[in-house]
Structure 1
Amino acid sequence: MYKKTPMIQFGKNTIESGIKAVEYLQEAWDQEITLPPEYADYHCRLDKLEQLLRQQKGVDFTTMVMTAPVDEWEDTLERELQSSTRSDFIQRNYTKARQALIEARGHAVNSAILYDHVIAQIDVEGAVAAFTEAALTLGENVNDIEKAVDQAPAAAAEFRSQGRKLWKLHQLLPTSYSVNGTQLTHPAAVYLNVADIEPLIRDMSLQRMAHKGYQYGDDLQHRHGAIKMAVENKFTTGTTSEGLTEVAQGKHPDLTLDIATTLEQAQARTCALGAVGRVQRINDKPADASSGHTPAGLSTERHTKGTNKAS
């Protein structure tokens, strides 16, 4: 009976973010990973705010008139008036100030600040090199832990260890942030460098019955398709382990395992990945103002399977 090979997994597919992601990476990398200084600053300010609130204690008026010397009442009341005004001001503004500090602290671990700060602390280049060497050493046995351990125990241990380090780096990505107005970062862009590949061009001025203007062959079309399939199927929740392994073993020729060292670099890669598989239309006819058609010049279209073949 056919036994299906289990998919490679470096751990549970739980979604972590912010501090939780850093805690996971700290364990996987077996080193201390600091949070951005902005986080520590806002955390310190929150502690100070709580301390201010706790310190607002005044003199009980009844106790004063019952026990304090009469000639001290005026001075005591003057001090209490100043203290009461200060206390009232703090308490009126406490809730709003606390919420602002909490939001600012949260933003510090859900923005470009976190990704760049953490990546700078860990040796991603060394981890990629060690992971790649181990994956190549194990070959097809990489899918079978028992065979992998029998074949090369040191490589098997290194494969798992380095794989866990790389596996959740994409969870450092902010969930609601963009750099220079670009789209949110694709998780695959954290891991993959895409080879320079010619664009798919369609010259609209050559649209005729026998010639639809496509200026690329099946080989280029298939390369674009293979990249799209790898990114969309191998770098989603539940498949990242498999994707990392396949790229490390060279099973996707146009993709290289290379960790983006800044969020801005990952954003640029996201744009590059977005261009893959998209047909660039040139020499479009001028648009009819009332038709809503694409304006003249360069536009794009998605290449769908089974259609738009080159002539």
Structure 2
Amino acid sequence: MANNTPMIQFGKNTIESGIKAVEYLQEAWDQEITLPPEHSDFTDRISKLEELIQKQDGVDFTTMITTAPVDEWEDTLERELQASTRSDFIQRNYTKARQTLTEARAKTLNSAILYDHVMAQIDAAGAVAAFTEAALTLGENVNDIQQAIDQAPAAAAEFRKNGRKLWKLHQLLPTSYSVNGTQITHPAAIYLNVADIEPLIRDMSQGYQYGDELQYRHGAIAMAVEKFTTGTTSEGLTEVAQGKHPDLTLDIATTLEQAQARTRALKTIGKVQRINEKPADANGGHTPAGLSTERHAKRANKAS
């Protein structure tokens, strides 16, 4: 029989970023969340620049020679010459300066600056603890909100409230960012700590290969992690909170650097390391000797 149980969903899968993401989190966490001070600093600088460009009024030359005393002309001209040089300098550099400031301000909302600043303001560990307790209390009823409310209304409320808090933290991730050459941070790396797990090693000289149990553990992790990139983050959070993935722990990365370290670790899941390969045949075009890798992790659901 088909499973018609509704999928857990803490909200619409719309993607926001920058200020929009912060506004969503303010509502979900029911608290004020400030923008980084760097953002305010660049806003102030833009305002001051606008003031400079507006203060470019000088004395009209025709007005001066028709109304000002003749003996004041030289002093007035000297002042106007200095003001004109300053004005020309500002005018020449205004467009580039404003663009630079605007881009720098935007970057504060698309970098580690925003992620780290927001994480320092929220009690992520407290939300994880409350969410986990509620998810365990509700059990399978997390899939049916009405049954959840009937069974344990307080737990159902905590489950929904804290699920929404955690659900869109990934929107704080920069759309493009690199630390030590890593690629864009994986959304799952915000939420998941992966247990130490042996790598999949294939010894090409002895025929040694990883066992099925280790292979399936890698596959189970890969499948769980995949939920955080396919619009099923709500389900992924709930499964990990309920302990359905022994190698994964729900634990929010409090800095972008930490999330990127986890991203690097996730990249090793399901990747086979081949060792002791035969030296390459110079005329055969084979893979050189040494360490090489291949992707191979069996799906967690074994074929019957």
State the partner residue of 1:294.
287
**Which of residues 229, 235, 246 is equivalent to 2:228?**
235
Task: Name the CA shift for 1:8/1:119 in 2 (closer, same or farther; >3 Å).
Answer: same
- Which range moved further: 243-252 or 295-304? 295-304
Superposed, which structure 2 residues align to 1:90-239 within 5 Å?
90-206=90-206, 213-232=207-226, 234-239=227-232
Match in the other structure for 2:269: 276
Q: Which residue of 2 aligns with 1:11?
A: 11
Equivalent residue for 1:38? Answer: 38
- Tell me if 1:27 matches 2:27: yes
| CA displacement at 1:257 relative to structure 2 | 0.5
Q: Which residue is equivalent to 1:209?
A: none
The Cα shift of 1:31 comes to 1.5
Contact 1:138 1:151 survives alignment (8 Å): yes
Give the drift of 1:90: 0.4
TM superposition shift of 1:293: 4.0
Distance 2:211 2:278 in 1: 24
> 1:291 Cα shift?
5.5
- Change in CA separation of 1:110 and 1:176 when aligned onto 2, cut-off 3 Å: same
Cα distance in structure 1, aligned partners of 2:282 and 2:61:
79
1:38/1:105 contact within 8 Å kept: yes
Aligned-residue CA RMSD (Å)? 1.9
Change (3 A) 1:114 1:288: farther
Measure how far apart 1:62 and its partner are.
2.4
d(CA) in 2 for partners of 1:53, 1:292: 66
In structure 2, C-alpha distance between the alignment counterparts of 1:45 and 1:12, rounded to whole Å: 37
In structure 2, the residue corresponding to 1:205 is in which secondary structure?
A: coil
Cα pair distance change 1:33/1:288, threshold 3 Å: farther
1:108–1:127 CA distance, 2 compared to 1 (3 A): same
Q: Cα distance, 1:237 vs. partner?
A: 4.6
CA contact (8 A) 1:13 1:237 kept: no
Specify whether residues 230 and 304 from structure 1 end up closer, same or farther in structure 2 by C-alpha distance, changes over 3 A only: closer
- Alignment check: 8 A CA contact 1:134 1:159 kept: yes
Deviation at 1:85, TM superposition (A): 1.1
Shift, 1:38, TM fit: 1.9
5+ residue gaps in structure 1?
Answer: 207-212, 307-311
Q: Relative to structure 2, which stretch is displaced further, 290-299 or 160-169?
A: 290-299
Offset, 1:167: 0.7
Q: Which letter does structure 2 place at the counterpart of 1:166?
A: L
The partner residue of 1:256 within 249, 259, 281 is 249
Asked if the contact 1:279–1:302 (Cα under 8 Å) also holds between the matched residues in 2, the reply is yes
Mapped to 2, the partners of 1:200 and 1:3 lie a distance apart of: 34
From 236, 240, 251, the counterpart of 1:247: 240
Which residue does the alignment assign to 2:77? Answer: 77
Alignment partners' CA distance in 1, 2:169 and 2:220: 24
Structure 2 residues without counterparts, runs of 5 or longer: 300-304
1-side partners of 2:129 and 2:59: how far apart? 68
Shift of 1:139: 1.1
Q: In 2 relative to 1, CA 60–117 (structure 1 residues): closer, same or farther, beyond 3 Å?
A: same
Say if 1:192 and 1:257, in contact at 8 Å, map to a contact too.
yes
Partner residue in 1 for 2:302: none
Mapped contact 2:218–2:297 kept (Cα < 8 A): no
Deviates more, 1:34-43 or 1:92-101: 34-43
In 2, Cα distance between the equivalents of 1:31 and 1:124?
Answer: 13
| Amino acid across the alignment from 2:74 | E
- 1:184 is displaced (CA, Å) by 1.8
Q: Quick one: distance in 2 between partners of 1:52 and 1:83?
A: 12
Mapped partners of 2:51, 2:288: distance in 1: 62
Hey, what's the Cα distance between the residues in 2 that align with 1:40 and 1:165? 25
Identity among equivalent pairs (%): 84
* Residue aligned with 1:275, SS: coil
- Indicate the SS of the match to 1:235: helix
Q: Secondary structure at 1:279's aligned position in 2?
A: strand
